[in-house]
Amino acid sequence: MMIFLDSADIKEIEELATTGLIDGVTTNPSLAAASGMSFSELITQITKLVTGPVSAEVTALDAPTMIAQGRKLAKIASNVTVKVPLTFEGLKACKVLASEDILVNVTLCFSLNQAILAAKAGATFISPFVGRLDDCGADGMNLIEDIVNTYEKYEIDTLVLAASIRHSQHVYEAARLGADVVTIPGKVFRQLYNHPLTDSGLAAFMKDWQKSGLKI
CATH number at residue 148: 3.20.20.70
Domain count, the chain: 1
Q: What pLDDT score does 80 carry?
A: 98
Q: Which residues are CB-contacts of 122 (< 8 A; sequence separation ≥ 6)? A: 94, 95, 97, 98, 99, 104
Active site (annotated) includes residue 83: yes
Contact yes or no for 161/127 (Cβ under 8 A)? yes
Q: What percent of the chain has pLDDT over 90?
A: 100
The type of residue at 106 is: V
Q: What pLDDT score does 161 carry?
A: 99
Please pick, among 11, 48, 75, 83, the residue that the annotation labels catalytic: 83
Name the pLDDT band for 205 (thresholds 50, 70, 90): very high
- Summarize the chain as % helix, strand, coil (round to 5): 55, 20, 30
Contact yes or no for 129/108 (Cβ under 8 A)? yes
**pLDDT digits 0-9 by tens, 15-47:** 999 999 999 999 999 999 999 999 999 999 999
Give the pTM. 0.96
The mean of the pLDDT values for the chain is 97
Contact yes or no for 85/107 (Cβ under 8 A)? yes
CA–CA gap between residue 13 and residue 55 (Å, rounded): 14
Domain extent at residue 25: 2-212
